[in-house]
């Protein structure tokens, strides 16, 4: 069961009769809108997964969808960017240097530059379509588990300004997935080209970690 509780940040008043939609990462499908009840709660009879929450058509949350997810808004018209509660800013601007070997990842009509290993030259070029295109180049089809890791890595970086270590990932995913799937072995199994810290960071649009060659 997935439940979304919508309230106003200043007054804690629940938002009633507000349409909530889940957009699932695994296949991009959207649920039918569910109106919040008197307590501001919209419930979906779905197992835990990864995806986004849209409130009145505006994206308000992305990440693991499991249990009750609270969303507090300053106003109904609050911008999509400010609604997610991520205080950090992702770096932007080209990291290219003379003689750097680059390659292009085709995303729609654009050719997005990466270095020779697939890390973005300009982190602001990241998009979900880029992640899918790079994954396809690396022979990986992204499922809900991959998206949970990608969204965790981006949210963690936005919150703390540093990449998560493998230890951080194990602690987090052992808590939400259980001991077997939240293990170093399983995380390397689903990210076979460098594990979650290398392949995961590439797909999340983050730079290589310190000390990585």
Q: Are 62 and 135 in contact, with CB atoms under 8 Å apart?
A: no
The model carries a pTM of: 0.74
Q: Are 33 and 4 in contact, with CB atoms under 8 Å apart?
A: no
Q: Are 154 and 204 in contact, with CB atoms under 8 Å apart?
A: yes
Task: List the pLDDT tens digit at each of the 213 positions of the chain.
Answer: 999 999 987 678 898 989 999 999 988 999 999 999 999 999 999 999 999 999 988 888 999 999 999 998 865 555 444 444 444 556 667 777 777 789 999 999 999 999 989 999 888 899 999 999 999 999 999 999 999 999 999 988 888 878 899 999 999 999 999 999 999 999 999 999 999 999 999 999 998 775 443
Domains of the chain with CATH codes: 2-84 (2.60.40.1120), 102-204 (no CATH)
């Amino acid at each position: 069961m997935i439940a979304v509780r919508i309230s106003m940040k200043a007054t804690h008043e629940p938002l009633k009769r507000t349409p909530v939609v889940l957009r699932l990462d695994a296949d991009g499908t959207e649920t039918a809108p569910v109106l919040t009840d008197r307590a501001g709660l919209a419930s979906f009879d779905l197992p835990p997964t990864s995806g986004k929450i849209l409130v009145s058509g505006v994206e308000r949350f992305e990440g693991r969808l499991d249990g009750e997810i609270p969303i507090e808004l300053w106003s109904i018209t609050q911008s999509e960017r400010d609604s997610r509660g991520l205080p950090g800013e992702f770096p932007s601007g080209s990291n290219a240097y003379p003689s750097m070997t680059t390659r292009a990842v085709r995303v729609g009509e654009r050719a997005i530059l990466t270095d020779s290993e697939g890390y973005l030259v300009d982190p602001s070029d990241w998009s979900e379509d880029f992640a899918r295109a790079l994954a396809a180049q690396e022979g990986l089809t992204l499922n809900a588990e991959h998206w949970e890791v990608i969204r965790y890595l981006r949210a963690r970086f936005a919150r703390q300004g540093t990449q998560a270590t493998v230890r951080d990932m194990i602690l987090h995913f052992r808590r939400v997935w259980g001991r077997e799937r939240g293990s170093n072995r399983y995380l390397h199994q689903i990210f076979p080209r460098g594990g979650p810290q290398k392949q995961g960071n590439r797909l999340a649009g983050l730079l290589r970690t310190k000390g990585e060659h």
